[in-house]
Structure 1
Amino acid sequence: MTQSPEERIADLGLTLPEVVKPVAAYVPSLRSGGHVYTSGQVPMVDGRLDDTGKVGAAVSPERAEELAAVCALNAIAAVKAEVGELSRVRRVVKVVGFVASDPAFTGQPQVVNGASELLGRVFGEAGAHARSAVGVAVLPLDAPVEVEMIVEVD
């Protein structure tokens, strides 16, 4: 018998968090037809930002990769809140990762791997996705990373 995504999350030693409350005028996720779109998720843990600053300066690339996984876990929670059970996810279609980068930092793809690899562990083959990793000057609340995704659901 195949494990559910929720069981895989538990096997990874992770707990699916409560959906992060919006900090402005938007919703955490929205279903349109057979897709769920998440708003950008920053690395909030227990209601507070887990780290701040620019990657390549105040935040190491390795730490930023960990934070990208936190963002992905928050996005997964937003999807679950929208559809009820993660087994309804047929495919992670697209992931966009934003990295608040020091001007000399060019490792955005490696940072966003933290999100992509977690999605692969949680959803298996259905977690393989198209992706963009973008360096930006600043993110909300001075977050080092932000991740949004689109998933196909039944």
Structure 2
Amino acid sequence: MTPTAALAELGLTLPPVVPPVAAYVPATRTGNLVYTAGQLPMRDGVLLATGKVGAEVTPEAAYDAAQQCALNALAAAASIAGGLDQIQRIIKVVGFVASTPDFTGQPGVVNGASELLGKVFGDAGIHARSAVGVAVLPLDAAVEVELIVQVD
């Protein structure tokens, strides 16, 4: 099954590429690798979750936000790769979770991105990963995700 078909089977569509909020591009390619900029959980121009996980944001809401970040990162990567189906493999995911000092569930939050990528790409979606807690993210987003992907 193609990534596009797998995404459709999940009832999801690739969103438009989110415009940058500063001086950078959403994704860049070198050779057969595409690196995305950090993607916030934007949907239709609105952040899905703002604040800190462990305070204003529940881990469940942050998990959903991480999934949206992954969709946005896939859109950015696909825009450089020539389409979603040109992505051969997810190499690495880096997830940042704005969280309270006592919250230690960052890996579970970033699973929102990782599990979606596994469903869309199957074995090619298995990746290396970092899940890091931070004090604050741009626009007070709760989660930010970036990808490194291999393309045709």
TM interval, shorter chain, is over 0.9
CA–CA distance in structure 1, aligned partners of residues 134 and 49 of structure 2: 17
Q: Counterpart of 2:55?
A: 57
CA–CA distance in structure 1, aligned partners of residues 83 and 52 of structure 2: 35
Q: Counterpart of 2:116?
A: 118
Q: Counterpart of 2:145?
A: 147
The yes-or-no answer on 1:107 pairing with 2:105 is: yes
RMSD between superposed Cα atoms in Å: 0.7
Q: Counterpart of 2:40?
A: 42
CA–CA distance in structure 2, aligned partners of residues 86 and 23 of structure 1: 23
Q: Alignment partner of 1:96: what SS? A: strand
| CA displacement, residues 58-101 of structure 1 (integer Å, 9 cap, x when unaligned) | 00011101110000000011111111222222211010000001
Q: How does 1:16-95 map to 2 (within 5 A)?
A: 16-95=14-93
Q: Give identity over the alignment, percent.
A: 67
Runs of at least 5 residues in structure 1 that lack an aligned partner in the other structure: none
CA–CA distance in structure 2, aligned partners of residues 51 and 64 of structure 1: 7
Q: Counterpart of 1:137?
A: 135
Q: Alignment partner of 1:94: what SS? A: strand
